[in-house]
């Protein structure tokens, strides 16, 4: 269901016109208005869900299939050396629009896009495994 106050719902459902790269009954794919790299695309489900926790399993599966198709097409179209397929959940993880969406970001050797982290020494693997398994 569409949320009338959500900018991504409006874009995905044609309330705000935007040319898409791809569209079907479930998603619309557009170019990011503030791209991290040349060719940066967004996959927007037409139904509203704030994040992956609230999204129907069928939509998650469909978005993954579309992400594969779009990643390959964008890579070929813009001559990228690689592709990041990213999805952020909640503000602490970098989500700025509270509508589930997937970023397809072309990467070029030597570009300045920074999607990295410093590995931490973590001697708590057993504890984390037990806690997560308990929540599943």
Catalytic site residues? 101
Q: How far is CA 103 from CA 66, 95, 113, 122, 125, in A?
A: 12, 11, 13, 29, 29
Round to whole Å and give the CA distance between 30 and 28: 7
Taking CA 32 as the corner, what is the angle to CA 106 and CA 99, rounded to the nearest 5 degrees?
115
Q: How many C-beta atoms surround the C-beta of residue 71 within 10 A?
A: 21
> Do the beta carbons of residue 63 and residue 27 sit within 8 Å?
yes
Q: Give alpha helix (H) positions in 1-136.
A: 7-12, 57-78, 125-135
């Amino acid at each position: 269901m569409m949320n009338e106050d959500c900018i991504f719902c409006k874009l995905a459902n044609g309330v705000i016109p935007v040319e898409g790269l791809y569209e079907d009954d479930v998603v619309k794919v557009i170019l990011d208005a503030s791209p991290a790299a040349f060719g940066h695309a967004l996959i927007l489900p037409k139904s509203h869900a704030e994040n992956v926790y609230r999204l129907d399993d069928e939509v998650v599966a469909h978005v993954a299939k579309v992400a594969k198709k779009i990643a390959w097409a964008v890579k070929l179209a813009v001559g990228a050396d690689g592709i990041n397929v990213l999805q952020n959940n909640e503000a602490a993880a970098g989500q700025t629009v509270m509508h589930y969406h997937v970023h397809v970001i072309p990467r070029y050797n030597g570009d300045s896009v920074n999607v990295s982290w410093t590995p931490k020494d973590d001697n708590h693997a057993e504890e984390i495994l037990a806690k997560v398994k308990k929540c599943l």
